[in-house]
Structure 1
Amino acid sequence: MKSKSRSKLNSQLYAMLLPNLILFISLTVYPIVWSLRYMLFDYDGIRSASFVGLDNFVRLFTRDDVYWSSLLNTFEYAAGKLVLIIPLALILAMILNIPFKGNTLVQAIVFSPTIMSSAVMALMFYLLLNVYNGDLNRLLLSIGIIQEPINWLGTSLAMVSVILVAVWGGVGNYMVYFLSGLQTIPKDIYESAELDGATYWPRLFKITLPMLGPVLRIVLMLAILAAFQDIQSIMVMTEGGPLGETQVVFLYLYQLFFPISTTSAIQPQIGYGAAASVVTGIILGIITAIYLFVSKKLDDIF
């Protein structure tokens, strides 16, 4: 009887896991295998694929300056976003960890951009930052801060603009992680520190931040991966412009597979895009491994 009962339980478990397994194989495993296959071919999705061996990789490492500049832009974008979003999320979490009237409402307001569609959010800011009809320029002109409209998305300000939009859209998510971490710190520790005469700053650096270490490492990992994968808002707001200033690597890969406009100089290059995607995945894997190694060493030290 126990054998039959156990067999029935296992069958139920496998049945519940089967939909997720099918989705994982079809949406994750198959695309990876597909990319590994076509990275050695010259293929545009229409004509028959022709085998080119390592030519795609030779082109990537020797002749494709756009790829490497987009990779540098990605690092710039990720660094700018992380420098702003992590401290801001932590500060907001510490403020909202203090009970006050309307605390829940403020949390909901700060978190609300996180549940908004990235494309809708980007379109909203595209209209807001429009050089001629944007409300931001109208406001600044009306109060005399500027004398002529600023082209927020068509000059060197474009990268700053997309970073600020990304921070606005994601800070609420990381704030929730920090807030949950702060609420798990026992209040007895703070009370003991106060009795010993510890002021706010010693409590912050010797109690709060060290005890938030595990949450901080998770938030950093999520923020790094999210920053490298952000393309929707940039696609809508700048399409990689001006002159490639905001061209990040995943947007470039997307353009290799699917040109995003009729004026784009990039033609569908599925085989080459597959090779570039594999190299990008390896680079991200190396970055993740370095982060995990450094994080583990910091754990051992502290």
Structure 2
Amino acid sequence: MGLKKKLKAYGGPYMMILPTVIMLALFAIYPLAWAFKYMFYDYDGFTQAKYIGWDNFVRLFTRDTQYWQSVWNTLVFTAGKLVITLPLSLILAFILNNKLFGKNALRAIIFMPTIISTAVISLVFYLMFNSYNGIINNMLKSAGLIDQPIEWLGIKYSMLTAILVAIWGAVGNYMVLFLAGLQGIPNDLYESASIDGANKIQQFWHITIPLLGPVLQMIVMLAIVNTLKSYESIMVLTAGGPGGKTEVMYLYIYKLFFPVSEGDAVVQQYGYGAAVGFVSALIVGVLTSLYLYISRKSSEVH
């Protein structure tokens, strides 16, 4: 086939995907290549980059205790969020998949937080959980449940508050995914089970959960990856404080690239940030692969 015939046959499809390829190269492949190069350099974005070999990784694994604290905080945040979000989303999806008055309105209300900016949601909750003039403390004081304001964003409750905000923002998204999976289960199975005397709870455990297995596996994987990488709500709520109690991995990386002012100086650490980002991506990949391996083995056993 000649060049003209090939262009005529395949030119259209290639031209259609060309913008996507260009954007992928500019905003995904090039930044990854840039980060991979500079994680071996001491570079602050202004002065000449200095090659330092593996020094960034030596610093990370031997001296940077703050980063490893952020890894632990990320695991706590992920576990706390998913343990509540996924079962709650599944239960809501199961309820709203049945014939129920106003179910479409309820679906829209529960899904609404998903389409609102994370920064806006977090700012609203920041004002609500404010220790001294927040609406939560005012309501509790009015009801006589507390005498002194609770420091929701203080050392004791800051992680719990961050988890609650994350749950509120994520339930609707996973509910919709579960709804899509539930609607793929034939209604005949539920009707047959009802005729045999099975109630809704029995139907849920013996029909819904087994048949939802593949979809559930995908949703849990997406939830793990998204939660491990999330940091926006925590950045608005606590900025990682107090005392690093809510600092998560990707917020720590963000601060290396876009640091807060320290007096009159701003310390940018692009080289070290690239190294930390690489290790963080490996951690996310390992945890996700571990989950997929365990879930696949579990599926084979059953």
Report TM bin, short chain. Answer: over 0.9
Distance 1:62 1:264 in 2: 29
> Counterpart of 1:169 in 2: which secondary structure?
helix
Change (3 A) 1:5 1:269: same
2:300 equivalent in structure 1: 300
1:111 equivalent in structure 2: 111
Change (3 A) 1:45 1:188: same
- Provide Cα deviations, 1:41-74, integer angstroms capped at 9, x if missing partner: 1111110011111111111000000010000000
1:142 equivalent in structure 2: 142
Alignment of 1:32-181 (within 5 A): 32-181=32-181
* TM-score scaled by length of structure 2: 0.95
> Counterpart of 1:155 in 2: which secondary structure?
coil
> Counterpart of 1:131 in 2: which secondary structure?
coil
2:269 equivalent in structure 1: 269
2:251 equivalent in structure 1: 251
Distance 1:267 1:187 in 2: 60
Any unmatched runs of 5+ in structure 1?
Answer: none
Distance 2:106 2:194 in 1: 28
Quote the offset at 1:174 in angstroms: 0.2
Distance 1:145 1:198 in 2: 42
Quote the offset at 1:202 in angstroms: 3.1
1:235 equivalent in structure 2: 235
- Provide Cα deviations, 1:117-155, integer angstroms capped at 9, x if missing partner: 011111111111111121111111111111111110122
* TM-score scaled by length of structure 1: 0.95
2:21 equivalent in structure 1: 21
**Number of residue pairs the alignment of both structures matches:** 302
Any unmatched runs of 5+ in structure 2?
Answer: none
Distance 1:191 1:217 in 2: 26
1:10 equivalent in structure 2: 10
- Provide Cα deviations, 1:48-106, integer angstroms capped at 9, x if missing partner: 01111111111100000001000000000000000010011011111111222211111
1:202 equivalent in structure 2: 202
Quote the offset at 1:281 in angstroms: 1.0
Distance 1:183 1:298 in 2: 24
Letter in 2 for 1:61: F
- Provide Cα deviations, 1:7-28, integer angstroms capped at 9, x if missing partner: 4352111111111111111111
Quote the offset at 1:189 in angstroms: 1.1
Is the 8 Å Cα contact of residues 43 and 49 (structure 1) preserved in structure 2?
yes
Quote the offset at 1:232 in angstroms: 0.9
> Counterpart of 1:27 in 2: which secondary structure?
helix
2:192 equivalent in structure 1: 192
Is the 8 Å Cα contact of residues 44 and 270 (structure 2) preserved in structure 1?
yes
Change (3 A) 1:48 1:83: same
